[in-house]
């Protein structure tokens, strides 16, 4: 008899938990402005095949739309200042800004504009167009929601992380770094504040 009561309580708890969890997942569709203080656009590329070299872009802006009830409506637009590249080494960063790599004087703008999202409210694939080094190409980011909810200042936030592996040559960046460095990994860790 005690086992039956415990089973009923457990079942009721699961039903209530799932119901409340479902309520939390039905936040309204909204537009968000990217919070650059809590967002990151980072990359890593192999150095001679022996280790990873990490870097980031310090200046970027944009926004996204997030609709948990209709994830296919999710969109993002990010503008990136390639001159803000930062690998924690001033001479290397200077080289990355010159024509061998990003050529920031000739190509002062970079960015990503999504075109389609396939998945659910928690994870999926975000397709879009990446512009880098004056070349615009389609890419697919593997996207995952980190979380969403109220912040301590009366606002509402949502955060996502997206990753993709790029081939440098596809964007006209063909400076020889050795065969281990033909590809690089790009990661967007985005937190937005609901408008």
Helix/strand/coil (H/E/C) assignment for every residue in the chain: CHHHHHHHHHHHHHHHHHHHHHHHHCCCCEEEEECHHHCEEEEEEEECCCEEEEEEECCEEEEEEECCCCHHHCEEEEEECHHHEECCCHHHHHHHHCCCCCCCCCCCCEEEEEEEEEECCCEEEEEEEEEECCEEEEEEEEEEEEEEEECCCCCEEEEEEEEEEEEHHHHCCCCCCCHHHCEEEEEEEEEEEEC
Return the pLDDT at 28: 81
Average of per-residue pLDDT across 65-74: 95
pLDDT single digits (tens) 101-115: 999 999 999 999 999
Residue 2 pLDDT > 70, yes or no? no
Superfamily covering domain 27-194: Lipid/polyisoprenoid-binding, YceI-like (2.40.128.110)
pLDDT over 60 (residue 5): no
6-57 pLDDT per residue, tens: 444 444 343 333 333 333 445 789 999 999 999 999 999 999 999 999 999 9
pTM for the model stands at: 0.84
Specify the pLDDT at position 26.
52
Domain boundaries, the chain: 27-194
């Amino acid at each position: 008899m005690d086992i039956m009561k415990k089973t009923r309580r457990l079942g009721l708890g699961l039903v209530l938990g799932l119901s409340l969890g479902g309520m939390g997942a039905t936040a309204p569709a909204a537009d968000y402005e990217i919070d650059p203080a809590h967002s990151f656009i980072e990359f890593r590329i192999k150095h001679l095949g022996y280790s990873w070299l990490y870097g980031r872009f310090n200046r970027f802006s944009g926004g996204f739309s997030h609709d948990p009830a209709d994830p296919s409506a999710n969109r993002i637009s990010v503008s990136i200042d390639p001159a803000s590249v930062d690998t924690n080494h001033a001479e290397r960063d200077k080289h990355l800004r010159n024509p061998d790599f990003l050529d920031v004087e000739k190509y002062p703008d970079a960015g990503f504009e999504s075109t389609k999202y396939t998945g659910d409210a928690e994870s999926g694939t975000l397709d879009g167009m990446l512009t880098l080094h004056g070349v615009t190409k389609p890419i697919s980011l593997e996207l995952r929601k980190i979380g969403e909810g109220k912040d301590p200042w009366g606002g509402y936030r949502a955060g996502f992380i997206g990753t993709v592996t790029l081939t440098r040559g596809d964007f006209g960046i063909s400076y020889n770094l050795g065969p281990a460095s033909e590809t690089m990994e790009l990661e967007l860790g985005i937190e937005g504040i609901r408008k």
